[in-house]
Amino acid sequence: MEFLVVLTAAALRVATPILLAALGEMLVERAGILNLGIEGIMLFSAFTGFVAAQFSGSLWVGVLAAIATGVLLSALMGLLSVTFGLNQHVSGLGITLLGSGLALYFFRLAYGGASTPPALQRSFQQWDVLPGTLLGTLLGQYWLTYLALLLVPLLAWVLTRTSFGLRLHAVGENPEAVDVAGVNVYRVRYLALLAGGALMGLGGAFLSLAQLGAFTHGIVNGRGWVAIAIVIFGNWRPVRVLLGALLFGFVQALQLRLQAEGVPVPYELLLALPYLVTILVLALTGRNANYPAALLKPYRREGA
Amino acid sequence: MPSGPSGAAGAGGTGGPATAQARRPLSRLPRWERGPAPWWLRLLLPLLAIAITFLIASLLIAASGANPLEVFREMLLTPFTRRTSRLEILVRLTPLLLTGIAVAIAFRAGYYNIGAEGQLYAGALAAALLGPQLGGWNQPLAITVMLLGGLTAGAAWALLPAVLKVYAKVDEVVTTLLLNSVMLLLVGALLNGPWRDPISGWPRSPSIAEAAMFPQVIARSRVHLGLVVALVLVALFWWVLARTRFGLEVRAVGLGATAARFLGVNVRSTVLVAALLSGAVAGVAGVGEVAGIHGYLIEGISPEYGYTGIIVATFGGLHALGVTAAASFLALVDIGSTTAARTLGVPAYLGNVVQAVLLLVTLAVLLLGRYRPARRREGEDA
């Protein structure tokens, strides 16, 4: 029992940044944009959040900086993929390369070649509730974890019950028809990109301001790609995205636990699991199910 | 047929009614319309992209307190003044040419292979597995085996996404991207597992046999046979695309799969073959790094050459000559940024930023390539 509770608590921690980023990516993909910039957005957000927190002395300033970074890089993605109607894969990849490049460039500029990564004096702490009890272990999470969990029903409600959600869905499925109905396709896509970017930024902030309390080059380490996999696994639905993130969290937490206890596990294989499962899901469903029909298709009003 | 910027000259000749005359001064500028850009514009665009990129980069350099002009000189000119730097550019050029060509083949067929990084590692893995077995072989034979191994491994790693794309309409971008991570984890598992050196604990594969090593092609340098292979493949890429039936089919499919199908092209097999060729060439890049440089496989053998290949291909306009020029330029930026880091203290990651900005700026600037100066027709006004 205790083992299970500890494992669940760890799984929630591991799942948080992935969940935040995946929810953001889900929003963007719902609008018909595949944002491959996610990995670089998370890294640069983790960095700006860290730097802002360190120089201002306030973690909240750090969170705001991380969100702003996510929004700004996503705006650039919007300029390229929505306004200019450029190839989404290559633009997104360019954003990732840019975000990583900028993070590493400014990191080196600010901290030189320090051998020990600079750490925050104080980072976000886990909720200290009912110390010493199992329930306390389970509930003792960072506030960002609770936020991420709250976002799941909130986004589910927004997507299915609000006019914005319906427009988002329609823009991702059939932008021409929505345009005829008087909805500004560009605006909806931008809104989705910016909101999604904010969530990716929060995912980055979680890593540097809460979980690690520091910044390192490999802090994101493919979590953005995992998020992309989980959005597909989650069939573009918030609750199933949560499920996917938790599943990933559990496998990861289990692997870390076993490793710590000296059980030899080929942890690389476990880490590869989400990718393989996603490819399997894709292979089985093909291009049907809930794949936003207009995904990857730039929308041009003049139809050129 | 009149071509070039003849718009301004023609403006005076077409006299119009008095009402249109009032608006005349504006129309003295050449007007633009949608259509294929003239050749001089297409040649100008990459230069424009470079100029904008360096304008943006100079902001970043200024932020570091250095003088942008000084950094650019150190980055773009100084490497040519030293023999080692000149040769290192060629060393760096080798994988970039290969991944650039690999990406270009796929993109030309409208197949967005983002997986060159994983396919490169697949080739490197094959080289690390085959290499140690080839002791005592005669060298040309051993090298041929290495190259074939890399080609096969790269193509094999590209197979699944290609099959899924062609037969199940699964988008190749996500699958090729995710397989990159899988391959890196697989290599990591081997390096940290069975291959970990029992004495030093260093994660590296066994050294490959002497016979399997690529010979140097320039004495006292690290420039190896891979560069020759890369140049041959560039030439082949040009020849296949420009001169063969398959190349024509690839171009047709890339321009529009539906139209190509109506013309009798087997779209499925064309895309499939292009995707596999793309993976195979990326695999050769991996063999080159193992057999030409290190002699064994380690983690980080490719500092994202696969992704840089996408920049090379895009900036090079998916043409053989363009890709060669783009790869050379990016290799120079790579080497130059480390030079600038050493002498001026600007972080070497400046090179990464410049490459990323170049990709984004190129994409945007290429939009201009869809326009041409408007041609005036008889009886048309303003």
Mean predicted confidence (pLDDT) in A48-63: 95
pLDDT at B11 over 60: no
pLDDT tens digits along B134-143: 999 999 999 9
How far off is chain B from A295, nearest CA to CA, in Å?
Answer: 10
Mean predicted confidence (pLDDT) in A234-241: 93
pLDDT bracket for residue A286 (50, 70, 90): low
User: Which residues in chain B have Cβ-Cβ distances shorter than 8 Å to A282?
Assistant: 164, 168, 170-171, 174-175
How far off is chain A from B175, nearest CA to CA, in Å?
Answer: 6
Which residue on chain B is closest to A224 by alpha carbon? B178
Across the interface, whether the CB atoms of B185 and A282 are under 8 A apart is answered no
pLDDT at A289: 55
pLDDT at B28: 55
Mark residue A133 as left, alpha or beta (left: phi above 0; alpha: psi -120 to 50; beta: remaining). beta
User: For A71-75, B16-20, B31-35, B189-193, which range has the lowest pLDDT when averaged over its residues?
Assistant: B16-20
How far off is chain B from A137, nearest CA to CA, in Å?
Answer: 32
Mean predicted confidence (pLDDT) in B230-256: 95
pLDDT tens digits along B44-95: 888 999 999 999 999 999 988 899 999 999 999 999 999 999 999 999 999 9
Across the interface, whether the CB atoms of B170 and A102 are under 8 A apart is answered no
Interface probe for A, chosen from B58, B311, B352 (most Cβ of A below 10 Å), is B352
Across the interface, whether the CB atoms of B359 and A296 are under 8 A apart is answered no
pLDDT at B368: 81
pLDDT tens digits along A74-113: 999 999 999 999 999 999 999 999 999 999 999 999 888 7
pLDDT at B18 over 50: no
pLDDT at A227 over 50: yes
Which residue numbers of A have CB closer than 8 Å to B's CBs? 34, 36, 76, 80, 84, 86-87, 89-91, 93-95, 97-98, 100-102, 104-105, 108-109, 222, 225, 228-229, 232, 266, 268-269, 271-272, 275-276, 278-279, 282-283, 286-287, 295-296, 304
Mean predicted confidence (pLDDT) in A108-123: 81
User: Which residues in chain B have Cβ-Cβ distances shorter than 8 Å to A228?
Assistant: 174, 177-178
Across the interface, whether the CB atoms of A89 and B356 are under 8 A apart is answered no
How far off is chain B from A136, nearest CA to CA, in Å?
Answer: 35
- By the CB < 8 Å criterion, does B64 face chain A? yes
Q: Which residues of A170-198 are buried (b: 16+ CB within 10 A; e: fewer)?
A: bbbbbbeebbeeebebbebbbbbbbbbbb
Of B34, B178, B367, the CB nearest to A84: B367
Mean predicted confidence (pLDDT) in B19-43: 65
pLDDT at B224 over 50: yes
What ipTM did this prediction achieve?
A: 0.91
- AA letter at A189: R
Choose between B121 and B33: higher pLDDT: B121
Which residue on chain A is closest to B360 by alpha carbon? A94
pLDDT at A287: 58
Which residue on chain B is closest to A264 by alpha carbon? B193
Structure tokens at B58: 């100079």
Q: Domain residue spans in chain B?
A: 43-369
- By the CB < 8 Å criterion, does B178 face chain A? yes
pLDDT bracket for residue B286 (50, 70, 90): very high
Q: Taking chain B, what is the end-to-end CA distance rounded to the nearest angstrom?
A: 21
pLDDT at B302 over 90: yes
* Nearby residues of B81 by Cβ (< 8 Å), 6 or more positions away: none
Choose between B2 and A188: higher pLDDT: A188
pLDDT at A281: 84
pLDDT at A196 over 60: yes
pLDDT at A115: 66
Interfacial B residues in 325-354 facing A (CB < 8 Å): 347-350, 352-353
Go through the domains of chain A in sequence order and give each one's CATH number: 2-285 (1.10.3470.10)
How far off is chain B from A78, nearest CA to CA, in Å?
Answer: 12
User: Which residues in chain A have Cβ-Cβ distances shorter than 8 Å to B112?
Assistant: 87, 89-90
- By the CB < 8 Å criterion, does B171 face chain A? yes
pLDDT at A268 over 80: yes
pLDDT at A131: 81
Mean pLDDT score of chain A? 90
Across the interface, whether the CB atoms of A268 and B353 are under 8 A apart is answered no
Mean pLDDT score of chain B? 88
pLDDT tens digits along B154-173: 999 999 999 999 998 888 99
pLDDT at B26 over 70: no
How far off is chain B from A206, nearest CA to CA, in Å?
Answer: 22
Could you name the CATH architecture of B43-369?
Answer: Orthogonal Bundle (1.10)
pLDDT at A71 over 80: yes
Interfacial B residues in 195-224 facing A (CB < 8 Å): none
User: Which residues in chain A have Cβ-Cβ distances shorter than 8 Å to B186?
Assistant: 268, 272
User: Which residues in chain A have Cβ-Cβ distances shorter than 8 Å to B180?
Assistant: 225
pLDDT at B5 over 90: no
pLDDT at A28 over 90: yes
pLDDT at A134: 83
pLDDT at B370 over 80: no
Across the interface, whether the CB atoms of A272 and B173 are under 8 A apart is answered no
pLDDT bracket for residue B6 (50, 70, 90): very low
Helix A88-111, helix A38-56: angle, nearest 10: 30
pLDDT at A201 over 70: yes
How far off is chain B from A151, nearest CA to CA, in Å?
Answer: 25
pLDDT at A168: 92
pLDDT at A290: 64
pLDDT at B19: 47
Which residue on chain A is closest to B182 by alpha carbon? A272
pLDDT at B4 over 60: no
pLDDT at B16: 42
Choose between A132 and B30: higher pLDDT: A132
pLDDT tens digits along B87-118: 999 999 999 999 999 999 999 999 999 999 99
d(CA B187, CA B38): 47
pLDDT at B25 over 60: no
CB pairs under 8 A between A and B: 129
pLDDT tens digits along B304-319: 999 999 999 999 999 9
Of A228, A269, A287, the CB nearest to B170: A287
For A295, counting Cβ atoms within 10 Å of its Cβ (0-12 exposed, 13-18 middle, 19+ buried), the class is: buried
